[in-house]
Amino acid sequence: MKVDVLLGLQWGDEGKGKVVDVLTPKYDVVARFQGGPNAGHTLEFEGQKYVLRSIPSGIFQGNKVNIIGNGVVLDPALFKAEAEALEASGHPLKERLHISKKAHLILPTHRILDAAYEAAKGDAKVGTTGKGIGPTYTDKVSRNGVRVGDILHNFEQKYAAAKARHEQILKSLNYEYDLTELEKAWLEGIEYLKQFHFVDSEHEINNLLKDGKSVLCEGAQGTMLDIDFGSYPFVTSSNTVCAGACTGLGVAPNRIGEVYGIFKAYCTRVGAGPFPSELFDETGDKIGALGHEFGAVTGRKRRCGWIDLVALKYSVMVNGVTKLIMMKSDVLDTFDAIKACVAYKVNGEEIDYFPYDITEGVEPVYAELPGWKTDMTKMQSEDEFPEEFNAYLTFLEEQLGVQIKIVSVGPDRAQTIERYTEE
């Protein structure tokens, strides 16, 4: 058996949670491979709305195994709040959720360090979510981290040493803080975590594959926020690309099967950083309003723009995408014309590839297509798609070189249409 990977191709917020929830019935296992509670995967079904931050999106589908992999960073306090809310709504977790011993813990001082570092940058802020993600990954790479498995081995000693090191840094930054409430909630989260099944996730996943079980690997954020391949330095601190599933779960590269790449029919970005196709006019505001473009975790308003096919082609390439999934098609239902960025103009020269740096001097070059001017939210099959929408899909497939297998026409699980079903 091979694992399939599902990930975002833009700057995050593509709708991964909904798609995992839709695809999960086909899989025995859903495993999250990177990121932390800075990610917010929103799922809507049966009149309810849920936002998952650290827990895999397969948690709602029967008795699937859900795994938080070693590439994830976990905040016990936020995890406790998220898990208790899910259990209160009738979704049992303890028998469904396994947590890697090698996943790193976000400490209370990591969150304070995150705020201190951002404050020190002034106008050069990256725009983090303030959840302590960056400092936690920094400690991981510098071999100073505290891991889930440490809860079972000399935990007090390891936590005290990490806390003391962080407090020394905060002192050097002259940053004032109060740790009392954060630490209290965090230690309560540690006790809560002990109720869950800690695993060597790399062994578990490979044994499940040996037993013929099907596994879906779930990514967080988006490709353009990848620490290596994204719009650096305005990126997250982990590898959000397909290769992150290998390092974040212990899966060998030759075990990767289908790679599902998710993108919106337009483009959004949260926080600071370059965004070549961003719109600063009424059209951008209209897309934001119709798409309800506010962060599931942060509540921050998302910047909106037309789809960027230069960046999207790059994402398809570095991930080896085999199937595309387009979200929020219905948001563009009322537009007379739809634009797509097909190239960049840099210093007067037109290029169709994603360059080293897009922070300044990049002007989008657009193709324009007719809008479909049709309410698609009630449609249930591709046979109902208007001609103009089919033309948009064909245009995107020709540009990207990969078929668009699934189209979302609304936020609910039921508003999802599979294409090429005859294959």
Classify 223 in phi/psi space as left (phi over 0), alpha (psi -120 to 50) or beta: alpha
The torsion of the CA quartet 412, 405, 38, 185, rounded to 10 degrees, works out to 50
* Domains of the chain, first to last: 3-100+200-260 (3.40.440.10), 104-194 (1.10.300.10), 265-418 (3.90.170.10)
Cα-only R_g, the chain: 21
How far does Cα 78 stand from its chain's mean position? 17
For residue 233, whether the previous peptide bond is cis, meaning omega lies within 30 degrees of 0, is yes
Binding residues for IMP are 13-16, 38-41, 129, 143, 221, 236, 300
Which positions make up the binding site?
12-18, 38-42, 129, 143, 221, 236, 296-302, 328-330, 408-410
pTM: 0.92
Distance, in Å, from the CA atom of 253 to the CA atom of 245, rounded to the nearest integer, reads 9
Q: What is the pLDDT along the chain (423 residues), one digit of tens a residue?
A: 999 999 999 998 898 878 877 888 899 999 999 998 876 667 666 677 777 888 888 888 777 899 999 999 999 999 999 999 888 888 888 888 999 999 999 999 999 999 898 888 766 555 566 789 999 999 999 999 999 999 999 999 999 999 999 999 999 999 999 999 999 999 999 999 999 999 999 999 999 999 999 999 999 899 999 999 999 999 999 999 999 999 999 999 999 999 999 999 999 998 889 999 999 999 999 999 999 998 666 677 899 999 999 999 999 999 999 999 999 999 999 999 999 999 999 988 999 999 999 988 899 999 999 999 999 999 999 999 999 999 999 999 999 999 999 999 998 888 999 997 654
User: Binding site for Mg(2+): residue ranges?
Assistant: 13, 40
Identify the bridge partners of residue 269 per DSSP, sorted by sequence position.
303
Q: Give the closest residue to 234 by CA, choosing from 280, 270, 264.
A: 270
Active site positions, annotated: 13, 41, 140
Q: Which residues are annotated as a binding site for GTP?
A: 12-18, 40-42, 302, 328-330, 408-410
SS (H, E, C) 86-155: HHHCCCCCCCCEEEECCCEECCHHHHHHHHHHHHHHHHHCCCCCCCCHHHHHHHHHCCCCCEHHHHHCCH
Angle at 279 between CA 411 and CA 408, to 5 degrees: 20
d(CA 156, CA 148): 13
